[in-house]
Chains A and B, each alone.
Chain A
């Protein structure tokens, strides 16, 4: 029989309930606690071990005494003490532990929340996105350390074997430790260079949350919220950087449609068919105001252009009233500045809305045989153009290709529905 405990609000927790609430707290507070521990110990591995120790203690103590009022602070304190215990034992043997022990016991370093230290996570983000690390390592490490994703989930995001992600993360951690990559927010004159990988990583975090790589579409909306929060912190820190503002506007305007994306059965509703009264108009208004003000600066970057597109969709009263021609044009501008296969696919979808499915298919022609064929949305765009052109057998083939790519469960069910639709059409009109 499970032992029972009391929550802060006084009700007694069953074992399952406690584990749910502990998981929930780790999910929400874990990143912040870990970031603080890394600042305090100066070592990612020691910090991760200490947090793990603290969670084990929490599972026991919270069941007995209830969940504390400030679970994040509770975990930080316990983890810090666990790290101290561990380091005190090991400091005599290893220089690394001796150094961490010194950091942890330096009073000036503990609980310093002034000025530049206002956000441990931001500081950690600049470490994880240090240009001395490869771009792949930057994103993988950030998702692991800042967002607490497992290596399995990260492997699904990048469509690579789990072992590869594990290696990238452990190599990056080793380089941070051995090369003494610092935990700090760069000086203002360093920011332009240091910012780009941070923006890319925050956007990757948002995207992994907005469009979950595994499970249901909205299984990781916490990461989308985290992406928006991190974008906001970046704008606060660097209001003069147009791309920070662009990223915040982009994440806000994209996320504003979240509630309308799924119907009551949890199935995906495409943009054209969404109930626009479910959109978060306040978020769209904020994003639109940000985009207008930042575009006036006259230095439109990739995030600003994408934000402008998201705001055009967001502020249209209906799909029919959307300025699709301008959206297609903005994708053209985006592709000139950011010529990636993903941008090409998105542009093809936008152009097809204006010029028809043949034009969309033509734009995809040069992607045939390239690595983008591992992306299910490339195939579903292709399939959609083929369906609209009435070439159902080819459309069915494309949906089958899409289903062979990694995707979440919601996308999968949509693809399967579409596949059976075009197969039906193909049977009726051979």
Chain B
């Protein structure tokens, strides 16, 4: 069965959002509900710390062993950032889209659905 990564993008919560416990609890409850409803297809997933904790690494020279340049911050500075992801095992893209549309991030932000490469059958 194909596996899809549902990448959840959105604006990161501000400190005020975090201190508004009613709003925060509501979002957590929405994610909890999704986790229950989609338990049959969720093959994994994680929530990520904010992009302020991100470090981007590049090895220079286009080959292994080059200088490692480490930069504070995400790969691209954008208003909406990757906040977490699910792995969804679905029979086709339509099923993956219908589940992705139930991830709270789809209405708080956007969800990108990407098929995962299946290496199991390759020689």
Which residues does A use to contact B, with CB under 8 Å?
93-95, 98, 130, 132, 178-182, 184, 186, 190
B18 → A minimal CB distance (Å): 35
CB of B93 within 8 A of CB of A180, answer yes
Contact (Cβ within 8 A) B97 A180:
no
Residue from A95, A132, A178, A184 in contact with B97 in the complex, judged by beta carbons closer than 8 Å: A132
**CB–CB A182/B121 < 8 A:** no
Partner of A179, one of B93, B120, B121: B93
**B17 at interface by CB-CB < 8 Å:** no
Tell me if A180 and B122 are in contact (CB < 8 A).
no
B90's nearest neighbour on chain A, judged by CB, is: A180
For the complex formed, measure the closest distance between the CB of B122 and the CB atoms of chain A, giving whole angstroms: 6
**Is B92 in the interface zone, CB < 8 Å from A?**
yes
Specify which of B91, B92, B93, B122 is in contact with A95 (CB 8 Å cutoff): B122
Task: Report B1-18 residues with CB < 8 Å from chain A CB.
Answer: 2
Could you tell me if A182 and B118 are in contact, using CB atoms closer than 8 angstroms?
A: no
Docked complex Cα distance between A161 and B93 (Å): 31
Query: In the complex the two chains form, what is the Cα distance from A178 to B115 in whole Å?
Result: 7
Cβ contact of B93, chosen from A98, A182, A186, cutoff 8 A: A182
B92 and A182 contacting across the interface, CB-CB below 8 Å? yes
Contact of B123 among A93, A179, A181 (CB under 8 A): A93
B94 within 8 A of A: yes
Among residues 77 to 106 in chain B, which have CB atoms less than 8 Å away from a CB atom of chain A?
Answer: 91-94, 97
User: 7 tightest CB-CB pairs across the interface, nearest first?
Assistant: A95-B121, A182-B92, A180-B92, A180-B2, A179-B115, A179-B93, A181-B93
Interface of A is mostly: loop
Q: Which of A93, A95, A130, A179 contacts B118 (CB 8 A)?
A: A95
Q: Report 15 cross-chain contacts, Cβ distance below 8 Å, ordered by A residue.
A: A93-B123, A95-B118, A98-B121, A132-B93, A178-B115, A179-B93, A179-B113, A180-B2, A180-B91, A180-B92, A180-B93, A180-B115, A181-B92, A181-B94, A184-B94
Bound Cα distance A39, B2 (Å):
18
Tell me the minimal C-beta distance from A176 to chain B in angstroms: 9
Residues of B within 8 A of A181 (CB): 92-94
| Nearest chain B CB to A101 CB, angstrom units | 12
Q: How far is the CA of A397 from the CA of B114 in the complex (A)?
A: 51
A178 — which chain B residues lie within 8 A by C-beta?
Answer: 115
- A181 and B91 CA atoms in complex are apart in Å by 10
A86 to B62, CA, bound (A): 40
Task: Pick from B91, B92, B94 the residue with the most CB of A within 10 Å.
Answer: B94
A residues near B122, Cβ cutoff 8 Å: 95
Known: A95-B122, A190-B94. 16 other contacts (CB 8 A): A94-B121, A95-B120, A95-B121, A132-B93, A132-B97, A178-B115, A179-B113, A179-B115, A180-B91, A180-B93, A181-B92, A181-B94, A182-B91, A182-B92, A184-B94, A186-B94
User: Which residues of chain A have C-beta atoms less than 8 A from B94's C-beta?
Assistant: 181-182, 184, 186, 190
Chain B hits for A94, CB < 8 A: 121
Which residues of chain A are within 8 angstroms of B92 by Cβ–Cβ distance? 180-182
Instruction: Give the shortest distance, in Å, between B97 (CB) and chain A (any CB).
Output: 7
Bound together, the chains give a CA A180 to CA B92 distance in angstroms of 5
* Residue with the greatest number of chain B CB neighbours at <10 A, chosen from A93, A94, A179, A180: A180
Bound-state CA distance A182–B91 (Å) is 9
**A179 to B93 alpha-carbon distance, docked (Å):** 6
Interface set, chain B 26-76, CB cutoff 8 A to A: none
With both chains docked as a complex, state the minimum distance between the C-beta of B74 and any C-beta of chain A, in angstroms.
25
Instruction: Specify the chain B residue showing the minimal Cβ separation from A194.
Output: B94
Q: Could you tell me the distance in whole angstroms from the C-beta of B91 to the nearest C-beta in chain A?
A: 8
A183 nearest in chain B by CB position: B92
| Nearest opposing residue in chain A for B97, CB measure | A132
Chain A nearest CB from B12 CB (Å) reads 27
| A179 / chain B contacts, CB cutoff of 8 Å | 93, 113-115
